[in-house]
Amino acid sequence: MHPGLLHRRFVTDLSSSLFSFVLPLLPTQEERAVKEEVRSLIEKLVKTIEPSARLLSFGSSQNSFGLRNSDMDLVVLIDDPSANLEASHLVQMIGDLLQRETNFDVKPLPKARIPILKLTLAPSSALPFGIACDIGIENRLAIENTRLLLTYATIDPARVRTLVLFLKVWAKRRRINSPYRGTLSSYGFTLMVLYYLVHVKQPPVLPNLQRIAPLRPLAEHEVMIQGRNVYFFDDTETLRQEWSSINFETVGELLIDFFRYFSHDFQFNNSVMSLRAGQLTKEIKGWVNDIDVGGLNEMARDRNRLCIEDPFEISYNVARTVTKDGLYTLRGEFMRATRILTQRPDRAVIALAELCR
Ligand code: GTP
Ligand code: MG
């Protein structure tokens, strides 16, 4: 067969293989139900300490990019402004309470920069992988960025969800999804994919929800929470009616091009990915990484190897965990993936299995 034709067949095959690959990795209804029970139980207990408290889920269980057995991200919000509870104190009190009242293994970290409570539950038949859960306090921005990600997914679920979910599995299997070991968080990978779909692809697959043409009066373009503008266009009904992409690439094509772009085109040394504003420079952001040499500044230098601006906390580099070695590994993985998908266009399922080996 002609090589061009062979490649076309491979790409079509790749799209359907991606859907089948991701499907069995989604959380089951049972898992969702158990997790909701856990949330509700903990919320009841927290209300005995502070009646105005609510416990909300955020992260992948709410943004539609969740995989089976992923951890739970929860946050305590206190609606009564007169409550006046300090986060560290609250973490300790909730920790003590859960220790007494539940089977969770409880680890409060009240002295951490951002006080949190870590819970784990040993595996059981309903939950063969147990539960791992982080509870934070008053992190309202996390709720907003979760909603932003969900809204992006809702616009084009078949392509956006499939791409993000596959890349999360790939990153986990290739062990490049460990912020504590110098690589990138799931949140970082998700922002990278969205950045690519909004700003790299021409024509774009997704609109920029933070800069969308003013369908509403300008005054509504600023919504402040914890000192940050968290405005984005979240009217999914209007989006469905008034926005449609003229990019018709399949999810297989988008995946191949994603890996190619981050293997060859993205300027890791001086570019910043901003979902809000497109490509920025490290210089403009003040995220330059090699002013200081050696010694004490070694850590500081490593903070801006890879730069991904948080959509709302714009002074914050979501990829600050990526070290020099971590970036080298990540770039190597993008190249490996490109090689597998372009040089061996045999059966797509085999290519995907090799990709995630
Ligand atoms: P999995 O747990 O791997 O399924 O992915 P996830 O989508 O839950 O991502 P992750 O656990 O990395 O992060 C959970 C949520 O925490 C994200 O959706 C964000 O709301 C928030 N978050 C994580 N990392 C950061 C960060 O570096 N900055 C900010 N502002 N929020 C973060
Ligand atoms: Mg999570």
**Could you report the predicted ipTM of this complex, rounded to two decimals?**
0.96
Q: Which of 326, 182, 354, 346 is nearest to 268 (CA)?
A: 326
- Does 73 sit in the ligand 1 pocket, CB within 6 Å? yes
Closest protein CA for atom 3 of ligand 1: 186
Q: Order of strands across the sheet with 116-121?
A: 53-58, 72-78, 131-137, 116-121, 105-109
Ligand 1 atom at minimum distance from 143 CA: 20
Which is the closest atom of ligand 1 to the Cα of 70? 4
Residue 220 pLDDT exceeds 80: no
Share of the chain above pLDDT 70, in %: 93
Q: What is the pLDDT of residues 82-102, one digit of tens each?
A: 988 899 999 999 999 999 999
Quickly name the fold that domain 156-206+245-355 has.
Poly(a)-polymerase, middle domain (1.10.1410)
Instruction: State residue 353's pLDDT score.
Output: 95
CA distance 160 to 258: 12
| Index of the ligand 1 atom closest to the CA of residue 318 | 27
**Mean pLDDT along residues 263-269:** 97
CA dihedral 218, 224, 230, 235 (to 10 degrees): -50
Does position 33 have pLDDT exceeding 80, yes or no? yes
Query: What's the 58 CA to ligand 2 centre distance in angstroms?
Result: 8
162 lines ligand 1 (CB under 6 A): no
Same fold, 29-139 and 156-206+245-355: no
pLDDT of residue 332: 98
The percent of residues above 90 in pLDDT, for the chain, comes to: 84
Level-2 CATH architecture, domain 29-139: 2-Layer Sandwich (3.30)
Average per-residue pLDDT for the chain: 93
Looking at residue 242, what is its pLDDT? 87
**Ligand 1, from 166, 174, 186: best to mutate by most atoms within 8 Å of Cβ?**
186
Average pLDDT over residues 70-90: 94
Ligand with smallest separation from the Cα of 68: 1
The closest of 270, 266, 212 to 238, measured between CA atoms, is 212
Residues 262-288 have a mean pLDDT of: 97
Q: How far is CA 68 from CA 28, 118, 131, 188, 274, in A?
A: 7, 20, 11, 19, 29
Where exactly are the structural domains of the chain? 29-139, 156-206+245-355
Residue 67 Cβ < 6 Å to ligand 1: yes
* 130: its two tokens: 């147990």
What's the confidence (pLDDT) of residue 218? 55
289: confidence class by pLDDT, cuts 50, 70, 90: low
**pLDDT at residue 43 greater than cutoff 60:** yes
If pLDDT is split at 50, 70 and 90, which confidence band does 216 have?
Answer: low
Pocket flag, ligand 1, residue 187 (CB < 6 Å): yes
Q: How crowded is residue 261: how many other Cβ atoms within 10 Å of its Cβ?
A: 15
Q: Indicate if ligand 1 lies below 6 Å from the C-beta of 134.
A: no
What is residue 1's predicted lDDT score, i.e. its pLDDT?
74
Whole-number pLDDT of residue 8: 86
Ligand 1 atom, smallest distance to 65 CA: 7
pLDDT average, residue stretch 207-224: 76
* pLDDT above 70 (res 74): yes
Among 73, 166, 181, 307, the mutation site with the greatest number of ligand 1 atoms within 8 A of its Cβ is 73
Flag whether pLDDT at 253 surpasses 60. yes
